[in-house]
Amino acid sequence: MSTLSDLPNVGKVLEDNLRKINIETPEQLRQIGAEEAFFRIRMVVDPGACLHMLYGIQGAIEGIPDKFLSDQTKERLRLFYKTL
């Protein structure tokens, strides 16, 4: 079984934040999705979590560095971020 830290974009801070919202595995992260995971982090752990963290979570789910997210994905995430 892989760990959260094996995913791209997941460093110590993001891994700690995910664990604080009871996401312990990459599979749990994939099931919950980037938007829900980020929403939980904002509500429970870090109200100041930034858009780049959301990009990082999405990249982790897709298995790519966040700089390689598609423009469409970034726009969708930006719109979601603005609703928070």
Residues 54-68: pLDDT tens digits? Answer: 999 999 999 999 999
Q: How far apart are CA 74 and CA 58, in angstroms?
A: 9
- In this predicted structure, the answer to whether residue 10 has a pLDDT above a threshold of 80 is yes
Q: In this predicted structure, what is the pLDDT of residue 1?
A: 54
pLDDT above 70 as % of the chain: 99
Can you give the residue ranges of every domain in the chain? 4-82
The topology (CATH level 3) of 4-82 is DNA polymerase; domain 1 (1.10.150)
State the pLDDT at residue 26. 98
Rounded to an integer, what distance in angstroms lies between the CA atom of residue 41 and that of residue 26? 16
